[in-house]
Amino acid sequence: MEKIRASLLTEVKNKLKLNNDTEVRENVDMSGLTSFRAGGKAALLAEVGSVESLKNALKIVSAAGVFHMILGNGSNTLFKDSGYEGVVIRLSQESFSAVEIEGEETSEVRVADKNGTDNAKASNKILVRAGAGILLSSLAKALMSHSLSGFEFAGGIPGSLGGALFMNAGAYGGEMKDIVRSVKAVAPDGSHEKLFSAEEMNFSYRHSALEENGYIAVEAEMELLAGDKEHIAEKMKELAIKRSSKQPVQYPSAGSTFKRPEGYFAGNLIEYAGLKGVAVGGAQVSVLHSGFIINKGGATATDIIRLITLVQNRVYDEFGIMLQPEVKIIG
């Protein structure tokens, strides 16, 4: 069985290399490509530089029947220490980071002043298209430079636009569903592209239709408001200070480790269960924010997974609530 799998992966590797804008690497240490900075190796990593190359890569791995997955910025993913005997497909940030802004020359736009007051007479919004590989922090800065408001909430979220669309990322009262107009995505078998409307994306708390149907986002169109650049910059700075004062941003983590259970805050439940500061190996429940599991230094994926399980079991024993991880565990 091992020989058959190795032979298949070699065949897949050789076919993937035929795409000029696809970089293929073997036995890649995924700890360097995920925000926990822990975990094992992937048998193959294919970084694609175009939509056509993505479609070709998906066709190749689907036809071969090998395990495969899509990786964004790795901010919500943990590979087991045993590794992943499959193909990790990643969108090149350089190739999938284009930002196109429409309507900048429109004279009648809705303008928010420094006090957040809407002063415009017209209701035209600015349409922005962005590639799914762009980092949320980079996109937020780009939109600020064009005086576009509505994306400030995402400026401090680690990850790419594609990942944010997949899980309807949000923070400080904002979510992707609030601004997304449509999403262009590729079918999981690479056979075609499809344009999803905001309604078809079926956004809900940390969820979208992409999680159900397996389509891979390559571009999103968003509606934003023209605003005051200074006000936008000030709001982003304010949120950054708030984040750094309440979250353990100095340590590797996957952000909030658990989804918020309805009617509760995961961090509060974890703290009330007496788990703040509890550690397994190099993994620790943050003393700053109990909703975060951090790599305090030298943590393995096994340490992190064991701590996640410990937290789930303790909270369930105390409150009868089973916390659901936001982190995707691969392998």
Active-site positions read 206, 256, 326
Which residues make Cβ contacts (< 8 Å) with residue 10, sequence separation at least 6?
A: none
58, 17 Cβ separation under 8 angstroms: no
36, 301 Cβ separation under 8 angstroms: yes
Which residues make Cβ contacts (< 8 Å) with residue 197, sequence separation at least 6?
A: 181, 182
Torsion of CA 60, 37, 326, 214, to 10 degrees: -10
Long-range CB contact pairs, 149-152, < 8 A, 24+: 149/112, 149/224, 149/225, 149/226, 149/227, 149/228, 149/231, 149/232, 150/174, 150/178, 150/179, 150/222, 150/223, 150/224, 150/225, 150/227, 151/179, 151/222, 151/224, 152/232, 152/235, 152/236, 152/239
161, two tokens: 């636009």
> Which DSSP string do the residues of 152-180 spell out, in sequence order?
GGGTT--SBHHHHHHHT-EETTEEGGGTE
What is the separation of C-alpha 187 from the centre of its chain, rounded to a whole number of angstroms? 19
243, 156 Cβ separation under 8 angstroms: yes
Q: Which amino acid is at 96?
A: F
User: Which residue has 């791995």 as its token pair?
Assistant: 61
User: Which residue has 């420094």 as its token pair?
Assistant: 114
User: Which residue has 């009868």 as its token pair?
Assistant: 320
312, 259 Cβ separation under 8 angstroms: no
Nearest by Cα to 243 from 158, 146, 133 = 158
